[in-house]
Structure 1
Amino acid sequence: MNIEKLIEAMGEGVGKLVFHKKDGCSKKISIEQMSPTDIFKVVFNRLFNEKKYNEAENLIFDELKENYSPEIYEVALEFYNSLLDKSDEELNKSNFPREEIYQGLNSIQKFKDKE
C-alpha cells in the first residue's frame, strides 16, 4: 500500500491524534499539512496497534538515525515502556521477547547521549 494512500485513509484519525480534533469533525487532514514527525507517528501508531512490534521498532531506529529529535526519542521511550507492561506470552506471540525491550532501551539511550 502506498504511504500517501495509507495516510489519506487515516486522515480523520490523524486529525484527532495529532491536531486534537474532536469527534464528529469531518474535515480531512491532507498530507501537505503534516510534518515528517506527524507522518512518522501515524505510521508508528498503526504498526503498534497492529502488534507489529518489530516493524515499529525498525521504524523508530530509522527515524532516530535520519531525523533525531527529543520528540522521536520520547516516542521510542514510550514504546518500550508500554511493551514492558505486556505479558511475556503476548510479547512472544508478536515475536518480540522481553530481552529485546531492554536491548532497545539501551540502544535508544545512545541517541540521547549524543544530544
Structure 2
Amino acid sequence: EGGTLVIGIADDGTVLGLENDFKSLKRPDKDGFEQVLRQVLIDFLGAEFSQYVHVSFPEHEGRSVCVIKIDRTPRPVYLTDKGSTDFYIRAGNTTRPLDVQATHEYISMHWET
C-alpha cells in the first residue's frame, strides 16, 4: 500500500529534529541527508524502486524533520544484505520478516490477480 515514515519525531510526538544527524554527514545538510538516504535505499532495495520514494524536509518547532512518502510498488520489494535476500512487512507499528511460505502467500494476496 505504500506509507509514510517520519524521521526526527519521537513516538511520543516530541520533535527531535535532524540537526545532530546532519553533523555526522560529509555534507551536513538536508541534501547530504537525502543523498545518504537514497544511496542506502538503492544499496539494500534496488535502484528501480527510487521513483516510488518521495522525500521532503518540513520544519516543525524550528527543527528539520524528514518525511518519506512511499508509493505502492507494482511488484514486491526485497531487502538484500550481506548476500541474503529477505521479505519484510509492516504489521501495525512493527516490521517483521516472513518465511518463504508466508512471503509467497503475502505476494499472492497483494500483487497477483
| Structure whose CA Rg is larger | 2
Give the number of the structure with larger relative contact order, counting CA–CA contacts within 8 Å between residues 6 or more apart. Answer: 2
Richer in strand (by share): 2
**What is the TM-score of this pair, normalised by structure 2?**
0.27
**What is the TM-score of this pair, normalised by structure 1?**
0.27
Richer in helix (by share): 1
